[in-house]
């Protein structure tokens, strides 16, 4: 109650502060009062008629409460009165999630006409085409998109993976090389180059790529974390010491060290390092998923529940495995508590 009173006073004094309106609406929504949340957002609209954040918060409120027609109407209004690239992206996403592929494409065409340099629209178009088994169309989309968005790492990765899936490893390799020319010192592109070779069974090329990658990006946590597990078991500990010297506080390296202790069955050490990882970066969903799986296999109910609750409170948004599950269209409505066990399931087994 005191929070609500304070928020009411806050928006009265600072009606242009979008974040205060959003906090007020979220507090009501979390308390289960959807109609009051809706009322707060409609007052917020009056004070901030062209706010992208308020439009999108209102859309989220409706779509997550199964009010899809309301969400559609809001998005249509937003496109006519406050059009932005994100408004188009959310419009496409809603239709895609609801299985209305034709409507998605109509919106994508319109969005790309207005915002050809917004990489996410190209990415979504290509992904929908891949989903529809239209590989050639997806290939063209990624190529067109990359002409406009040469610095979009995600778009390069999608293009490379499309070729790899089609069995064109040479083409995939060439795409990644071209991507690195346009985006120097990019650890994500190097990591993909390492993995393409590993998946193709080219262990020597993979290791050579990793050596070049670390030379090019010596302080990249994602590269050092991968490098640890590319070593033979007896050398992993030495590699982890090198990684910690370079990236002492990097959550990816801390997570790799936690996993290393787990593989060595040093359970209390592993638990200690998992705790350290989620403390230093609570937004890293992969760390929570590994930690949860670790407790499911080695902890008691209380320890499992503790990780689950802390993860729900942290509401993680990042991490390679986490995003691959959370952004899968079939999981679009799932909350943190539902995503955690799903991501834990796809965590690779301890080896």
Interval 87-116: pLDDT, tens: 999 999 999 999 999 999 999 999 999 999
Task: Give Cα 135 distance to the centre of its chain.
Answer: 24
pLDDT digits (tens, 9 = 90+) for 228-244: 999 999 999 999 999 99
pLDDT at 318: 96
Structural contact between residues 349 and 321, judged by C-beta atoms closer than 8 angstroms: no
pLDDT at 8: 84
Q: What is the pLDDT of the chain when averaged over all its residues?
A: 94
pLDDT digits (tens, 9 = 90+) for 188-206: 999 999 999 999 999 999 9
Taking domain 250-351, whether its CATH number is 1.25.40 is answered by yes
Gap between the Cα atoms of 285 and 269, Å rounded: 21
pLDDT digits (tens, 9 = 90+) for 55-80: 899 999 899 888 999 999 999 989 98
pLDDT at 189: 98
CA-to-CA separations, 254 to 85, 94, 299, 300, in angstroms, rounded: 36, 37, 20, 23
Please count the helices (runs of H) and the strands (runs of E) in the chain: 21, 0
Angle value at C-alpha 22, between 20 and 28, nearest 5 degrees: 105
Q: Which residue has the higher pLDDT, 273 or 83?
A: 273
% of the chain beyond a pLDDT of 70: 100
pLDDT at 154: 97
Cα Rg for the chain, rounded, in angstroms? 23
- The domain limits of the chain are 1-82, 250-351
Does 1 score more than 80 pLDDT?
no
Second CATH level (architecture) for the domain 1-82: Alpha Horseshoe (1.25)
Check if 1-82 and 250-351 are the same fold.
yes
Does 222 score more than 90 pLDDT?
yes
Closest CA to 44 of 62, 76, 22, 67: 22
**Res. 155 pLDDT band, cuts 50 70 90:** very high
Q: Which two tokens stand for residue 262?
A: 């787990």
């Amino acid at each position: 109650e005191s929070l609500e009173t304070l928020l009411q006073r806050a928006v009265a004094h600072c009606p242009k502060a979008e974040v205060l309106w959003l906090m007020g609406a979220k507090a009501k929504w979390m308390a289960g009062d959807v109609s009051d949340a809706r009322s707060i957002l409609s007052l917020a609209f009056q004070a901030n008629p062209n706010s992208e954040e308020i439009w999108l918060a209102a859309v989220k409120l409706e779509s997550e409460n199964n009010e899809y027609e309301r969400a559609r109407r809001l998005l249509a209004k937003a496109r006519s009165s406050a059009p932005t690239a994100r408004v188009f992206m959310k419009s496409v996403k809603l239709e895609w999630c609801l299985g209305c592929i034709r409507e998605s494409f109509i919106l994508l065409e319109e969005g790309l006409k207005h915002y050809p340099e917004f990489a996410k629209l190209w990415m979504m178009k290509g992904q929908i085409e891949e989903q529809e088994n239209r590989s050639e169309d997806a290939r063209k989309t990624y190529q067109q998109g990359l002409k406009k968005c040469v610095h979009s790492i995600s778009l390069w990765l999608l293009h490379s993976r499309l070729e790899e899936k089609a069995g064109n490893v040479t083409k995939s390799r060439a795409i990644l090389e071209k991507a690195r020319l346009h985006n120097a010192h990019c650890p994500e592109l190097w990591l993909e180059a390492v993995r393409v070779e590993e998946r193709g069974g080219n262990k020597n090329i993979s290791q050579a790529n990793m050596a070049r990658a670390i030379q090019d990006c010596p302080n990249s946590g994602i590269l050092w974390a991968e490098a640890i597990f590319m070593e033979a078991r007896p050398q992993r500990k030495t590699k982890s010491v090198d990684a910690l010297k370079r990236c002492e506080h990097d959550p990816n390296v801390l997570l790799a060290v936690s996993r290393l202790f787990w593989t060595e069955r040093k359970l209390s050490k592993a638990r200690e390092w998992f705790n350290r990882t989620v403390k230093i970066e609570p937004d890293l969903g992969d760390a929570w998923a590994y930690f949860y799986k670790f407790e499911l296999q080695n902890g008691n109910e209380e320890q499992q529940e503790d990780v689950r609750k802390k993860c729900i409170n942290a509401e993680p948004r990042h991490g390679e495995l986490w995003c691959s599950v959370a952004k899968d269209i079939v999981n679009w409505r799932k909350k943190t508590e539902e995503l955690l066990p799903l991501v834990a399931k796809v965590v690779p087994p301890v080896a």
